[in-house]
Amino acid sequence: MTAENPDTPDAPRRNAITILLWSALATIAAPVVYVAGRFIRPPAGGPATAVAGTEAELGATPAHILKVGSADAIVMRDPKGALYALNLRCTHAGCNVHWNPANGGFACPCHGGRFDRNGQVVKGPPRMPLRRMTVTLDNGVVIVSDKPSAE
């Protein structure tokens, strides 16, 4: 092996190619490092929340649809009058389900999945129920959070 002479006519071209290769490698590696970093240390921040209205306002309507973060949600009352909220994203492939007051359930337009008013699967293909969201009351104001409900 011979030592390279930096004064040879090919040296500038070789340096330029080396810089290009390292730049290409950095361009490819940067997104991988970014995604790995976000996976290892997710961004800080709490759950998204939205105000659904006052409890009195919701009392007049059987179902109230609102946006919580990027998700559509619905606030409903159970037979005992307690409020609960469901994420309207179908658990099969993520389409938004539609509330049908006539039959008291949810229908998914994508593959025909159906859920009862509690979000439980009535007809597949979904196998998981609609995700419950957390409902809190603050001086009569109903607040929905995308934090999963403990119920």
Closer to ligand FES at the Cβ: 50 or 108? 108
Closer to ligand FES at the Cβ: 65 or 143? 65
Closer to ligand FES at the Cβ: 58 or 90? 90
- Considering only 33, 78, 111, 136, the residue that binds ligand FES (CB under 6 A) is 111
Closer to ligand FES at the Cβ: 13 or 111? 111
CA separation, residue 67 to residues 16, 82, 104, 139 (Å) = 53, 20, 21, 21
Asked whether position 121 contacts ligand FES by CB under 6 A, the answer is: no
The pairing of strands 71-77 and 63-68 is antiparallel
Site for ligand FES in 52-91 (CB under 6 A): 90
- CA dist 85 and 82 (Å) reads 10
List the beta bridge partners of residue 86: 74, 132
**140 token code pair:** 């009569």
Output the smallest distance, CB 56 to ligand FES, in A.
Answer: 34
Asked whether position 95 contacts ligand FES by CB under 6 A, the answer is: yes
CA 79 to chain centre: 29
- Considering only 58, 74, 85, 108, the residue that binds ligand FES (CB under 6 A) is 108
Contacts of 93 (CB under 8 A, 6+ apart): 110, 111
Output Rg (C-alpha) for the chain, integer angstroms: 27
Among the listed ranges 3-11, 32-40, 55-63, 105-113, the one in contact with ligand FES (CB under 6 A) is 105-113
The contact set with ligand FES (CB under 6 A) reads 90, 92-93, 95, 108, 110-111, 113, 125-126
